[in-house]
Structure 1
Amino acid sequence: MKAVIRDTYGPADVLRLGEVEQPAPGDDEVVLRVHAAGVDMGVWHLMEGVPYLMRPAIGLRRPRNPLIGTDVAGEVQAIGANVTRVKPGDRVFGTCDGAFAELARTPQDRLAPIPENLTFEQAAALPTSGMTALMALRDAGKVRPGQQVLVIGAGGGVGTFAVQLAKAFGAEVTGVCSTSKVELVRSIGADDVVDYTVEDFADGKRRYDLIVDTAGNRSLSHLRRALTPLGTFVIVGGEEGGRWLAGMDRQLRTVLLGPFTRRRPLVVFAFPKLELLERLAELAEQGKITPVVDKTFPLSEASEAVRELAKGHARGKMVITV
């Protein structure tokens, strides 16, 4: 089968389309005919092999797994002996190790049914970014109806879901984004939008009960200035801090700050959970969240998709079609 593979760590040029052996399902696994695969910064990190601290888990000098891609949507083609949750022909979405391929194998508990009102491309945009936003708002931020919520990076992959989820949970939402994304952020339900190129959300005019920062490049002291006295800020990701930490330094500083402030600083790392996937599917089926797909790329142009993602200009999500 055709799949995007890489033999070494590096920029998008290391990705190439090649032929690999078709996967067979283990007892608790499912093989999908891939129709679409989401592109997120996790793919970029795995491609580059950064932060270096994760290399013992993924391969010190070169990737242990040559396949790449995490978010997937497709049809079940084969199932293992113990699989009971899905059957061949089902439309499903979720996560796997190697989504940029014609076929992908993954455990059954990393998949959920695709709502009828979503396309494969929309479903592929949902898993990692949607789960991250849901964890940031519901689990870490404990968002409540009527709260003032600020989403930084509101026009990006996680941010577009965070805006919609905060509205679904009854909050009043302000999105922070660049000029080119202002209308997009308004269109997905933000009550107010701050264009960071012309104004500062922490200018003291307004304070927020919960801040979700998906952009990862503002100081913690800057975020605290925009919070209510007992407010919470949640850090999602971050790309600064060099190749050893690659954003983890900011998250570590956030954790260390906790005992010394009344404002609750928290961090979120996305982990695949069936409950999260099912909750996202339910909200999508109800029309409360709709994945924003910016561009689609064929499998042969996966390297270009990742290259575009790294520029940081994506409006919502980019998706690879297979």
Structure 2
Amino acid sequence: MKIQIKLPILHKQLLYFEHALRRNYSTEHGTIPHKILKRMDAWQIHEYCSEVQLTNTRTPIINSPNDVLIKVEAASVNPLDVAMSNGYGSEMIGFLRKIRTGSELPLTLGRDFSGKVISKGFSPCKSKELQVGQQVWGVVPVHLQGSHAETVLVPNAVVAPQPSNLNPVEATSLMYAGVTAWSALYIFGGLLFRSIQGRRALVLGASGGVGSIAVQLLKAENAVVFASCSTDAIPFVQTLGADVVYNYNDPDYVEIVKSNGPYDIILDAAGLGPEDYLKNNWNCNAYVTLTIPLLKNGDQYGIFGGLLSSATQFVLPNLKAVSQGSTIRWALFQPLPQAIEHIGKLVSNGKLIPTVSEVYGFNDLQKAYERVGSGHLRGKVVIDMLKQSDGLTPVKGEREENTKEEGQ
């Protein structure tokens, strides 16, 4: 029997294998990148101060042995996403993005995700931990294209196996806010290398995304946690385990907080700011704030002018704080594997519980941005890639049924 080989087809196959070897892919079909030419839908901004738009764009291609390509099943919408769509951080973060990709826009937002591994590079690091088809969660560094898309490409250091006791919606609701809270407390708050047990910590804005997770992180280490929130949020914050909850609507709020001091650490997740903290004369060893002017100053004065202005705004309040026996520290989101690992252990042990406020479908992402921009949330706003209906959180069992229908 004579076997005929069509040369054009053979040539195409050889190019396919060559590309696979050159890109160092690993997929569920071996080393062949079976979806490298596939296009995907992504919500992007093409200019700042404009609405996100649904765009059909090219699926990211793995270029590094450390890259992991994830099929996104859920992603949260954070206040940072809304701020970045309006140009926040465009000078400094945009500069980093230009260095990496050569272009600043269009930009896909989204700083966290839950999903499945589609393909990965051949890095020996995490080669056994992350497998194609595995359910994972993670965060996206701010200078990379985000997760409000069908797929996202991230370094393997910011990806980890997802705890089995969470579904994708619950998992992604914890990631960005959790890593931010962990960074603020453990890195900038200095709790990484010291015992937290028995320490007195005050969390301002305890009902928000970062604040609610910070309360749980501290209680998991047996800290004595004080928390502040609005009147209607007090029952919610109490369920998180806070020992004392302050009502910031109380006319005597400032004096009550002061009278219960001193505190080992105050985490400002409410946007109070160093000036108000110093004016209130609250006694603590370390005041850690997420309200920092670095990116805002960069947008206003340029990179170098913004750095100089920020340095001044950091040093002068600290001179006054030091005279009062305190330090003021700026906290930034740090996408570290230690943070993801710590959060994962607490979730698996039932010590960290997700709080989801509202769930939107992928096609309703604009509405999700509007909801986050309006504020006053109790928990996270999440995008469920499998959700079809508009406006309501899926009932229990809906996701499992949809998953079976789509064969995932």
Given the alignment, which residue of 106, 131, 135 partners 1:91? 135
Given the alignment, which residue of 105, 115, 118 partners 1:64? 105
Bigger Cα Rg: 2
Gaps (5+ residues) in structure 2?
A: 1-39, 386-408
**Cα separation, 1, equivalents of 2:172 and 2:96:** 25
2:140 is aligned with 1:77: no
In the alignment of these two chains, the number of paired residues is: 317
Instruction: Give CA-to-partner distance per residue, 1:60-100, whole Å, 9 cap, x none.
Output: xx943432212111011112233614111111111233201
Q: Match for residue 79 of structure 2?
A: 41
Q: Given residue 118 of structure 2, which amino acid in structure 1 is its aligned partner?
A: Q
Label 1:199 to 1:164 Cα distance change in 2 as closer, same or farther (>3 A): farther
Instruction: Give CA-to-partner distance per residue, 1:221-266, whole Å, 9 cap, x none.
Output: 43564533x5211001358978638x99789634432244121211
Q: Match for residue 377 of structure 2?
A: 314
Q: Given residue 236 of structure 1, which amino acid in structure 2 is its aligned partner?
A: L
Label 1:170 to 1:294 Cα distance change in 2 as closer, same or farther (>3 A): same
Contact 2:67–2:120, Cα closer than 8 Å, also in 1: yes
**Cα separation, 2, equivalents of 1:191 and 1:6:** 43
2:265 is aligned with 1:210: yes
Alignment of 1:216-255 (within 5 A): 216-222=271-277, 225=280, 227-228=282-283, 231-237=285-291, 244=300, 253-255=313-315
**Cα separation, 1, equivalents of 2:61 and 2:384:** 22
Higher relative contact order structure (alpha carbons within 8 Å, sequence separation ≥ 6): 1
Label 1:196 to 1:89 Cα distance change in 2 as closer, same or farther (>3 A): same
Q: Given residue 81 of structure 2, which amino acid in structure 1 is its aligned partner?
A: V
Given the alignment, which residue of 176, 183, 190 partners 1:135? 183
**Cα separation, 2, equivalents of 1:198 and 1:283:** 33
Label 1:95 to 1:219 Cα distance change in 2 as closer, same or farther (>3 A): closer
Q: Match for residue 18 of structure 1?
A: 55
Q: Match for residue 187 of structure 1?
A: 239
Label 1:40 to 1:150 Cα distance change in 2 as closer, same or farther (>3 A): same
Q: TM-score, normalised by structure 1?
A: 0.88
**Cα separation, 1, equivalents of 2:315 and 2:136:** 36
Q: Match for residue 148 of structure 1?
A: 200
Measured on the aligned residues, the alpha-carbon RMSD in Å equals 2.7
Label 1:141 to 1:87 Cα distance change in 2 as closer, same or farther (>3 A): same
4+ residue runs over 4 A deviation: 238-243, 247-252
Identity over the aligned pairs, expressed in percent?
A: 28
**Cα separation, 1, equivalents of 2:310 and 2:231:** 26
**Cα separation, 2, equivalents of 1:50 and 1:137:** 24
**Cα separation, 1, equivalents of 2:311 and 2:365:** 30
The SS at the match of 2:81 is helix
**Cα separation, 1, equivalents of 2:249 and 2:208:** 16
Distance apart, 1:46 and its partner CA? 2.1
| Structure with greater strand percent | 1
Alignment of 1:274-313 (within 5 A): 274-313=337-376
Given the alignment, which residue of 326, 351, 362 partners 1:263? 326
Given the alignment, which residue of 165, 169, 189 partners 1:121? 169
Distance apart, 1:115 and its partner CA? 0.8
Label 1:137 to 1:298 Cα distance change in 2 as closer, same or farther (>3 A): same
Q: Given residue 275 of structure 1, which amino acid in structure 2 is its aligned partner?
A: Q
**Cα separation, 2, equivalents of 1:186 and 1:255:** 36
Contact 1:255–1:265, Cα closer than 8 Å, also in 2: no
Label 1:162 to 1:226 Cα distance change in 2 as closer, same or farther (>3 A): farther
**Cα separation, 2, equivalents of 1:244 and 1:281:** 38
| Structure with greater helix percent | 2
The SS at the match of 2:108 is coil
Contact 1:50–1:244, Cα closer than 8 Å, also in 2: no
Contact 1:209–1:227, Cα closer than 8 Å, also in 2: no
Q: Given residue 253 of structure 1, which amino acid in structure 2 is its aligned partner?
A: Q
The SS at the match of 1:129 is helix
Gaps (5+ residues) in structure 1?
A: none
